[in-house]
Amino acid sequence: MTGSDQTLAAIATGRFGYGARPGELTAAAADPRGWLLAQLGRRAAAPAELDGLASGAEILGRFLAAREAREAARRAGDAAAAQQLATRVREVLLPHYLAQAAARTRIALGSAASFRERLVQFWSNHFAVSVDKPICLGTAGALENEAIRPRVCGRFVDLLLAVETHPAMVTYLDNQQSVGPNSELGGRANRRRLFGGGAPRARTGLNENLAREILELHTLGVAGGYTQADVTTFAAVLTGWSIGGGKGRLAQGAPGSFQFRAALHEPGAKTVLGRRYAEAGFGQGEAVLRDLAAQPATAQHLAVKLARHFVADEPPPPLVARLAQAYRASDGDLPTVYAALVGWDGAWAPAPRKFKTPVDFVYSSLRALDVAPQEPKALLAGFEVLGQRQYSPGSPAGWPDRAQDWDGADALMKRIEWSVALADRVGNAHSALATLDTALGPLAGEHTRTALTRAASGSQALALMLMSPEFQRR
Amino acid sequence: MTSRRDFLRMGVGSGVALGLALPGVSFAAAATGQARFVVVILRGALDGLAAVPPYGDAGYAAARGPLAIGRPGGAKGALDLDGFFGLHPSLVHLHERWQARELVVVHATASAYRERSHFDGQNVLENGGDRPSGAASGWLNRALGALPAPRGGGLALGQNVPLILRGPAPVASWAPSQLPEVEPELVTRLRDLYSDDTTLAARLDEATRIGALADEDGGADAGAQRQMAKGGNVERLKAIAETAGRMLAAADGPRVAVMDAGGWDTHAGEGGAEGALAARLRGLDEVLAALRGGLAAAWAQSAVLVCTEFGRTVEINGTRGTDHGTGAAALLVGGAVAGGRVLADWPGLAPRQRHEGRDLRPTIDLRAVAKGVLADHLRVPALGLDEVFPGSARTRPVANLIRT
């Protein structure tokens, strides 16, 4: 084995994966590119860490029931009971959130296929839902595990369809109550409003949120050539994409699962991006999504995001062109696109161009040390302290992916504090120099080695290792 | 025990002794002006027609239906401003500032952005230009750079620096921590470890300086910080705002700060006088009151601009919320503000008066307001203003926003 193989192995594990675990550099060094490509099998068994997690639909169903009980108490004027029930809504969901976030973290820490795992979380961030919206507290992880994880090495169009029909995305972007003004239920409600007299009522109608974010964030990109009219019409196309359960005329469907409600769907042919779609109920929205996945603007948008995530904040244009071409030529076959990324020589330059996000930093630290707290809250504390709580990007755009979003002065100090706390806990059992070799191999510079050698204690050396410029980047 | 600031002095001393040039902010040299300026960014697009209801507009109640804020005097009605506009009933502290003539309400205002993407809208709001992919630096950073030397530094309240404050002028960021303070000895070793890494070296330097300021002038020692970091969202923001106020009030503290808060994207279940948005506005009102409390006597020299990337639709949508719009409301509050008036060239709410038939039509360029504050409050020279807001030479600063 040569030093150069070790360098490529350190890049494969650190830049493409979540950082080397003990022995992983040696395993990857025989064939670093092959080590990555071998992780892209079209089928992969679900990780054992996911065993026992409740389904998103089940969790959402429980949430809706708890919320309905709270509303009923409110309507009955029982403020104390409503307050108590409001607490219970959170109590219903929080254990699911903790279980999902802990499972995600344990998979990332233990995986021998951390390139694939990074891709799972990349797409989860591309199709972001955020748990700071209460209805998503129990379902953000379910979206990842049910819609994204099984399709991360398939075609983009299948991933897209699975995400947009998952109850987590439908509810995060408020589509479940979006009503066609001329639909069976919408027309009736609006006639009542016009002729019913009395106090002004809300007009029943569209909600643009899901339609806009599919176009802007999930497919074409903000410069992808759509207009406000496209957003509004696409929102009409998507009316009826809802969740099951409800009262009266909305009683059909399993509570919390995706449900197409024909009675809410705006009837008629519609034109989106210049193309006319005949009325086909649910099929109308599906047809638009299929066409969106095939648009060159979508290929370009996804290529930019992948190149930015894996190679550089300002993605090299030749790489973007290569990825977009691979996407178009393969009808959006994702493993083909990933292989184009791995096959681009510029992605293997030793000098790192990505500053680790807090999640990258915590994962790679705990992988290098092969430690993970057992208790979920302790396992997840680091993400919160460093400003990247699991599944809480705060907006449908997901977490940002550039150094300038993460390299604030205070953010650096928080990383130092966290490193010291971790090193104090495990430092005596781990040699900092050995951990440096585990994680970075030949990518670690002499200056850093010297600093570790001269440290005042084993735990101080480890804190310095974690905070070294080489380990802060990938 | 050595305090952070003593350590900082030692650190700087030894750096100089070694002949190292230390980049970063020198707060000690910052006290050129006494004016403090804080920008609060509400991410997600605040519904200006709920925060500042134009109850006197004949179209308001019909467009807003069950979400309309009632007229002043009624139960949960608007807090009256001028007989036409009111404040949302949650904004009680701000209404007191109005009565003290310390609040200017700006309505039907917008940046140069006319599309409806949050993320592009925030980019334009922060880069100060006319397109999302404009300058890589923020207008508030460029304003710092345009100040007469010696300059004050900028402070971002949060772990990282938002675009509005990014750029060549030195800035620091600060947020409370749950973890113990780092030993100065380790910081010295890290400074050496970063000697070939200009970015990390600069960040470390900024962090130690601002940490000392937060500790000593902000009153945020390790114990207080742990309490702050643990609280609920509003309690946490209030504690941060109060600490920030004290840091800004310090004789050698920063003069410009940015704070941001998300969660304003009210597509569904927005509520009216009560409900989701009402609760959030109450939180904002309390955070601003906490900032004022922290500034204490320095409030008299302060101006706070509260703004958002764009407004929301005039009419409510099918899910009792509002979709992305254009014209928005902004607030300018502070002891230095010549307040007690609404700055609006009201376009009206009727469909033909709207932007593209759906949104409040913007009639005041938000950059004109910001330029007015920068010119009269921070005393940014006229020439500098056009660099702060490139391509805005024809957008004249709004005069008389600041007391003379």
Q: Give the strand pairing for B171-174 and B364-365.
A: unpaired
Whole-number pLDDT of residue B135: 80
**What residue type is B59 in one-letter code?**
G
Of B163, B196, B207, the CB nearest to A412: B207
The tens-digit pLDDT sequence of chain B (404 residues) is: 344 444 333 333 333 333 333 334 444 333 347 899 999 999 999 999 999 999 999 999 999 999 999 999 999 999 999 999 999 999 999 999 999 999 999 999 999 999 999 999 999 999 999 888 878 899 999 999 888 765 668 999 999 999 999 999 989 999 999 899 999 999 999 999 999 999 999 999 999 999 988 988 888 888 888 888 777 788 889 999 999 999 999 988 899 999 999 999 999 999 999 999 999 999 999 999 999 999 999 999 999 999 999 999 999 998 899 999 999 999 999 999 999 999 999 999 999 999 999 999 999 999 999 999 999 999 999 889 989 999 898 999 999 999 98
Of B119, B197, B262, the CB nearest to A469: B197
Count Cβ atoms below 10 Å from residue A161 Cβ, excluding itself. Answer: 18
Long-range residue pairs from B221-229, CB within 8 A, at least 24 positions apart, any chain: B222/B177, B222/B180, B222/B181, B224/B176, B225/B176, B225/B177, B225/B178, B226/B176, B226/B177, B226/B178, B228/B176, B229/B175, B229/B176, B229/B177, B229/B178
A376: helix, coil or strand?
helix
The residue of B193, B198, B280 whose CB has the most chain A CBs within 10 angstroms, and thus the best one to mutate to test that interface, is B193
Count Cβ atoms below 10 Å from residue A223 Cβ, excluding itself. Answer: 15
CB contact under 8 A, A467 and B211: no
By the CB < 8 Å criterion, does A416 face chain B? yes
Whole-number pLDDT of residue B216: 86
Helices A446-453 & A432-440, crossing angle to 10 degrees?
160
**pTM of structure:** 0.90
Give the ipTM. Answer: 0.92
B330: helix, coil or strand?
strand
Backbone conformation region of residue B167, classed left if phi is above 0, alpha if psi is from -120 to 50, else beta: left
By the CB < 8 Å criterion, does B119 face chain A? yes
User: Consecutive sets of 10 residues in chain A, 474 residues long: mean pLDDT of each?
Assistant: 81 98 96 97 93 96 88 84 79 93 98 98 98 93 98 98 98 94 86 53 78 97 96 97 85 92 96 98 98 98 98 98 98 98 97 97 97 91 96 95 96 97 87 96 97 95 98 98
Structural domain boundaries in chain A: 3-31+355-472, 48-172, 175-294, 296-348
By the CB < 8 Å criterion, does B131 face chain A? no
CB contact under 8 A, B318 and A179: yes
The residue of B123, B174, B179, B208 whose CB has the most chain A CBs within 10 angstroms, and thus the best one to mutate to test that interface, is B179
For residue B261, the chain A residues in CB contact (below 8 A) are: none
d(CA A37, CA A474): 19
Backbone conformation region of residue B161, classed left if phi is above 0, alpha if psi is from -120 to 50, else beta: beta
Of residues B190, B238, B132, the one with CA closest to residue A456: B190
The encoded tokens of residue A439 equal 């994680």
CB contact under 8 A, A202 and B318: yes
Whole-number pLDDT of residue B2: 41
Do the Cβ atoms of A142 and A148 come closer than 8 Å?
Answer: no
By the CB < 8 Å criterion, does A392 face chain B? no
For residue A451, the chain B residues in CB contact (below 8 A) are: 189, 192-193
Can you say how many angstroms the Cα of residue B9 is from the centroid of all Cα atoms in its chain?
Answer: 31
Whole-number pLDDT of residue A428: 76
For residue B117, the chain A residues in CB contact (below 8 A) are: 212, 216, 222
Secondary structure element (H or E) that encloses residue B173, with its range = strand B171-174
* Distance linking the first and last C-alpha atoms of chain A: 22
**Which residues make Cβ contacts (< 8 Å) with residue B51, sequence separation at least 6?**
B87, B88, B91, B281, B329
Nearest chain B residue to A460 by CA distance is B186
Nearest chain A residue to B358 by CA distance is A228
Whole-number pLDDT of residue A394: 92
By the CB < 8 Å criterion, does B97 face chain A? no
d(CA A120, CA A159): 11
d(CA B260, CA B241): 11
CB contact under 8 A, B159 and A417: no
DSSP B17: H
**Window 323-342 of B, Cβ < 8 Å to A:** 323-324
d(CA A332, CA A154): 9
For residue A201, the chain B residues in CB contact (below 8 A) are: 65-66
User: Which residues are bridge partners to B105 per DSSP?
Assistant: B331, B342
For residue A465, the chain B residues in CB contact (below 8 A) are: none
Of residues B97, B54, B94, the one with CA closest to residue B72: B54
Buried b (16+ CB within 10 A) or exposed e, A19-38: bbbeebbeebbeebeebbbe
For residue A216, the chain B residues in CB contact (below 8 A) are: 117, 119
By the CB < 8 Å criterion, does B62 face chain A? yes
Of residues A33, A108, A16, A36, the one with CA closest to residue A311: A16
By the CB < 8 Å criterion, does B151 face chain A? no
Nearest chain B residue to A210 by CA distance is B267
For residue B323, the chain A residues in CB contact (below 8 A) are: 207-209
Do the Cβ atoms of A128 and A395 come closer than 8 Å?
Answer: yes
Residue identified by tokens 């994880």 is A149
**What residue type is A205 in one-letter code?**
G
**What residue type is A469 in one-letter code?**
P
d(CA A380, CA A64): 27
Of B66, B159, B205, the CB nearest to A387: B159
DSSP A163: H
CB contact under 8 A, B116 and A207: no
Residue A446 C-alpha, separation from nearest chain B C-alpha, in angstroms:
11
Backbone conformation region of residue B137, classed left if phi is above 0, alpha if psi is from -120 to 50, else beta: beta
Do the Cβ atoms of B351 and B377 come closer than 8 Å?
Answer: no
By the CB < 8 Å criterion, does B185 face chain A? yes
For residue A418, the chain B residues in CB contact (below 8 A) are: 179
The encoded tokens of residue A127 equal 């199709």
How many Cβ pairs closer than 8 A exist between chain A and B?
Answer: 179
By the CB < 8 Å criterion, does A200 face chain B? yes
**Which residues make Cβ contacts (< 8 Å) with residue A446, sequence separation at least 6?**
none
By the CB < 8 Å criterion, does B217 face chain A? no
* DSSP-assigned states of every residue in A36-104: HHTT--S--PPPGGGTTPPPHHHHHHHHHHHHHHHHHHHHTT-HHHHHHHHHHHHHHHHHHHHHHHHHH
In chain A, what are the helix, strand and coil shares in percent, each to the nearest 5?
65, 5, 35
User: Which residues are bridge partners to B259 per DSSP?
Assistant: B40, B157
Of residues B180, B168, B245, the one with CA closest to residue B213: B245
Residue B128 C-alpha, separation from nearest chain A C-alpha, in angstroms:
18
Count Cβ atoms below 10 Å from residue A348 Cβ, excluding itself. Answer: 17
**Which residues make Cβ contacts (< 8 Å) with residue A311, sequence separation at least 6?**
A15, A319, A341, A346, A347, A353, A354
Of residues A287, A285, A165, the one with CA closest to residue A235: A285
CB contact under 8 A, B321 and A397: no
Q: How many residues does chain A have?
A: 474
**What residue type is A300 in one-letter code?**
Q
Do the Cβ atoms of B299 and B335 come closer than 8 Å?
Answer: yes
Of B65, B116, B158, the CB nearest to A200: B65
A259: helix, coil or strand?
strand
d(CA B331, CA B103): 7
Do the Cβ atoms of A152 and A123 come closer than 8 Å?
Answer: yes
Whole-number pLDDT of residue A3: 57
Whole-number pLDDT of residue B328: 98
**What residue type is B247 in one-letter code?**
M
DSSP A357: P
Of A181, A411, A420, the CB nearest to B186: A420
**What residue type is A137 in one-letter code?**
L
For residue B276, the chain A residues in CB contact (below 8 A) are: none
Of B62, B120, B190, the CB nearest to A222: B120
The residue of A412, A415, A465 whose CB has the most chain B CBs within 10 angstroms, and thus the best one to mutate to test that interface, is A412
For residue A473, report the phi and psi dihedrals to the nearest 5 degrees.
-125, 170
Nearest chain A residue to B62 by CA distance is A200
Count Cβ atoms below 10 Å from residue B390 Cβ, excluding itself. Answer: 15
The residue of A413, A420, A424 whose CB has the most chain B CBs within 10 angstroms, and thus the best one to mutate to test that interface, is A413
By the CB < 8 Å criterion, does B263 face chain A? yes
Whole-number pLDDT of residue A193: 60
The encoded tokens of residue A362 equal 């915590």
Whole-number pLDDT of residue B6: 42
